[in-house]
């Protein structure tokens, strides 16, 4: 299934800072996921956005005609921000405070832009720029949330429904594909985008080089968009 072709960073990503307080604001990964939502089409569908952060993806789905949109985040700050953003945008979405792995229900489309940045096991401030670290820190391999998410999401997707996911190449897209397929979904990488390192990746570049995850001197990251479809 091909939803969108590879493309450079979207010019619509105009937010310069990655966070306001404890809320992750839209970045290129958000834009990539919104592009996938637009390509798939959500008109009249029931949508769930996990790790909603600012609520940008949930709001985009509502604007594209989704019949019902639920957004979930473990951060109370993010929940409050997403609710305010939805009101400002003039759309109706339900924003819930909770753990993504405990959420239940069945949806036509599930989306997620989870934490996925590999994280050093030390508190050295050189590796941790200011901002909502819970929105990007994801353990040594970047999969502390992804493994749980990919194992749980098949229980949330209706027959014939789809899961749309975005994360970095450094979090091992093959592991995501294997887990989703093991859950009975047909999963593949359908989009990619190459972007320059932001503050978090720049702070961790030398550590990633030392671990052999990053070529020396490279400061470009490949984002992947994954689509996983449940059998009808």
124: pLDDT confidence band, cut at 50, 70 and 90?
confident
Global confidence as pTM = 0.90
Whether residue 199 has pLDDT greater than 90: yes
Cβ-contact 40, 162 below 8 angstroms: yes
Residue 96 is assigned to a structural domain of this protein? yes
Residue 10 is assigned to a structural domain of this protein? no
Phi, psi at residue 18, to the nearest 5°?
-85, -10
CATH number for the domain spanning 120: value is: 3.40.50.150
The predicted pLDDT at position 7 comes to: 37
Give the C-alpha separation, 200 to 24, whole Å: 12
CA distance between the termini of the chain: 15
Cβ-contact 162, 227 below 8 angstroms: yes
Q: CA nearest 210: which of 95, 86, 127, 104?
A: 127
Give the C-alpha separation, 133 to 138, whole Å: 9
Residue 8 is assigned to a structural domain of this protein? no
pLDDT one-digit tens code per residue, 63-104: 999 999 999 999 999 999 999 999 999 999 999 999 888 888
Cα 115 to Cα 53, 136, 167, distances in angstroms: 10, 4, 8
Residue 169 is assigned to a structural domain of this protein? yes
Residue 227 is assigned to a structural domain of this protein? no
Residue 91 is assigned to a structural domain of this protein? yes
Please count the structural domains in the chain: 1
Residue 150 is assigned to a structural domain of this protein? yes
Residue 4 is assigned to a structural domain of this protein? no
């Amino acid at each position: 299934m091909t939803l969108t072709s590879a493309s450079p960073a979207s010019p619509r990503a105009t937010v310069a800072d990655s966070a306001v307080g404890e809320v992750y604001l839209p970045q290129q990964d958000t834009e990539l996921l919104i592009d996938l939502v637009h390509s798939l089409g959500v008109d009249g569908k029931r949508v769930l956005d996990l790790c909603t952060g600012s609520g940008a993806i949930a709001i985009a789905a509502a604007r594209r005609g989704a019949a019902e949109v639920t957004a979930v985040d473990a951060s109370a700050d993010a929940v409050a921000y997403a609710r305010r953003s939805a009101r400002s945008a003039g759309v109706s979405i339900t924003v819930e405070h909770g753990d993504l792995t405990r959420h239940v229900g069945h949806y036509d489309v599930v989306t997620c832009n989870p934490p996925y940045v590999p994280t050093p096991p030390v508190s050295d401030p050189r590796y941790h720029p200011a901002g909502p670290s819970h929105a990007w820190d994801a353990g040594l391999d970047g999969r502390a949330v992804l493994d749980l998410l990919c194992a749980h999401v098949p229980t949330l997707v209706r027959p014939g429904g789809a899961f749309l996911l975005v994360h970095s190449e450094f979090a091992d897209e093959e592991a995501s594909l294997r887990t989703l397929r093991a859950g009975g979904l047909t999963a593949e990488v359908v989009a990619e985008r190459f972007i320059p390192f932001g503050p978090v990746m720049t702070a961790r570049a030398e550590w990633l080089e030392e671990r052999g995850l990053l070529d020396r001197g490279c400061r470009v990251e490949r984002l992947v968009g994954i689509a996983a479809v449940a059998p009808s």
